[in-house]
C-alpha cells in the first residue's frame, strides 16, 4: 500500500510564481525523497531529507520535514515552464528500506 | 554512462502471451527494482533484488517472475499476460540501503505494455 500521499493532486501556476506541494505518510521513516517525472519519462531524484533533518535546499527547491505531523512539503521557487512535471514523494519506513511512492502532484507552469 | 536502460520501449501482447522485459545498469549498484505505474496510483514495487544473487517480492508480485542475471542486469518476465498487467514498467537501481535508510534510486525510461 502507498505510504505517502501528495496534496494537491494537480497545481497550475504562472511562470515566476512559487509552487508548493505536500506529502503525508503513515509510519515512522528513515528518509523522505522527492522525485520529478516529466511526461513519458522515468523518475528523476530531486532531494533526500533524513528523519533527523527539518529543512533542506537544493537550487530553487526547498524541502521541509515535520516528523511529528508525518508530513513534508516541496517548494519550487520562481517556477519555469521546464518545471512542468509530476512530483512524487517516497519514503522508506523504519526496518523496511524499500521505497513507497505516493500518487504524485501534477504541476503545470503556464508561460 | 547510459545509467539505467530498458528494452523494449513499447510492447503489445495478446492475453496469455509471455514476454521478458530487460533492464541493465552501468553504475555498479547493488540493488535493482521493478515497478509498475498505473494512472493515479504512483509506483508500486513488483520485485526487487537487494544484491546480486537475491530476489524478493514487493507489493504486487502476482503474475511476474524476475531474474538477477548478474550485477548489471535484472529481468522481469510475464509468463501469461493478462489485461490487468497493462501498465508502464520502470526499472531502477540504487546503492544497497544501510541502517540510516534507503539511497536515491535511478530510473530507466520505462516500457509501455498493453495487453489486449
pLDDT single digits (tens) B9-64:
999 999 999 999 999 999 999 999 999 999 877 899 999 999 999 999 999 999 99
Contact B69, B75 (CB under 8 A): yes
**Looking at the DSSP assignment, which residues form a beta bridge with residue B46?**
none
Number of residue pairs across A and B with CB atoms under 8 Å? 63
Distance from CA of B97 to the nearest CA of A (A): 6
Which element (helix H / strand E) includes A21?
Answer: strand A19-24
Q: Which residues contact B97 (CB under 8 A, 6 or more apart)?
A: A92, A97, B31, B50, B103
Chain mean pLDDT for chain B: 95
CA angle A39, A6, B83 (to 5 degrees): 55
Restricting to B residues 77-96, those with a Cβ less than 8 Å away from any Cβ of A are 90, 92
Q: Which of residues 71-100 of A touch B (CB under 8 A)?
A: 88, 92, 97-100
Query: What is the mean predicted confidence (pLDDT) over B61-87?
Result: 97
Instruction: Tell me if chain B has a CB within 8 Å of the CB of A33.
Output: yes
Q: Which of B42, B58, B102 sits opposite A103 (nearest CB)?
A: B42
**Residue B101 forms contact with A (CB below 8 Å):** yes
Kindly state the average pLDDT of the residues A42-70.
Answer: 96
> C-alpha distances in angstroms, A89 versus A37, A47, A103, B20, B105?
11, 10, 8, 29, 12
Q: Which three cell numbers stand for residue A50?
A: 533524513
**A63 vs A40, more confident:** A63
> B107: helix, coil or strand?
strand
Question: So what's the pLDDT on residue A84?
Answer: 98
Average pLDDT, chain A: 93
Contact (CB, 8 A) for B69 and B76: no
A78 within 8 A of A60, measured Cβ to Cβ: yes
Amino acid at each position: 500500500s502507498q505510504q505517502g500521499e501528495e496534496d494537491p493532486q494537480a497545481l497550475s501556476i504562472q511562470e515566476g510564481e512559487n509552487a508548493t506541494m505536500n506529502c503525508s505518510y503513515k509510519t515512522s521513516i528513515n528518509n523522505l525523497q522527492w522525485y520529478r517525472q516529466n511526461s513519458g519519462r522515468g523518475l528523476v531524484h530531486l532531494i533526500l531529507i533524513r528523519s533527523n533533518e527539518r529543512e533542506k535546499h537544493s537550487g530553487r527547491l526547498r524541502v521541509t520535514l515535520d516528523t511529528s505531523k508525518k508530513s513534508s512539503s516541496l517548494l519550487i521557487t520562481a517556477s519555469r515552464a521546464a518545471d512542468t512535471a509530476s512530483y512524487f514523494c517516497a519514503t522508506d519506513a523504519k526496518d523496511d528500506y524499500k521505497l513507497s511512492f505516493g500518487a504524485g502532484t501534477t504541476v503545470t507552469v503556464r508561460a | 554512462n547510459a545509467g539505467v536502460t530498458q528494452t523494449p520501449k513499447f510492447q503489445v501482447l495478446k492475453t496469455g502471451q509471455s514476454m521478458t522485459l530487460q533492464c541493465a545498469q552501468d553504475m555498479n549498484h547493488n540493488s535493482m527494482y521493478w515497478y509498475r505505474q498505473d494512472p493515479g496510483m504512483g509506483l508500486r514495487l513488483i520485485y526487487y533484488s537487494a544484491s546480486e544473487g537475491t530476489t524478493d517480492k514487493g507489493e504486487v508480485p502476482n503474475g511476474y517472475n524476475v531474474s538477477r542475471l548478474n550485477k548489471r542486469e535484472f529481468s522481469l518476465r510475464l509468463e501469461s499476460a493478462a489485461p490487468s498487467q497493462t501498465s508502464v514498467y520502470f526499472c531502477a537501481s540504487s546503492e544497497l540501503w544501510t541502517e540510516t535508510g534507503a539511497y536515491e534510486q535511478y530510473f530507466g525510461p520505462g516500457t509501455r505494455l498493453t495487453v489486449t
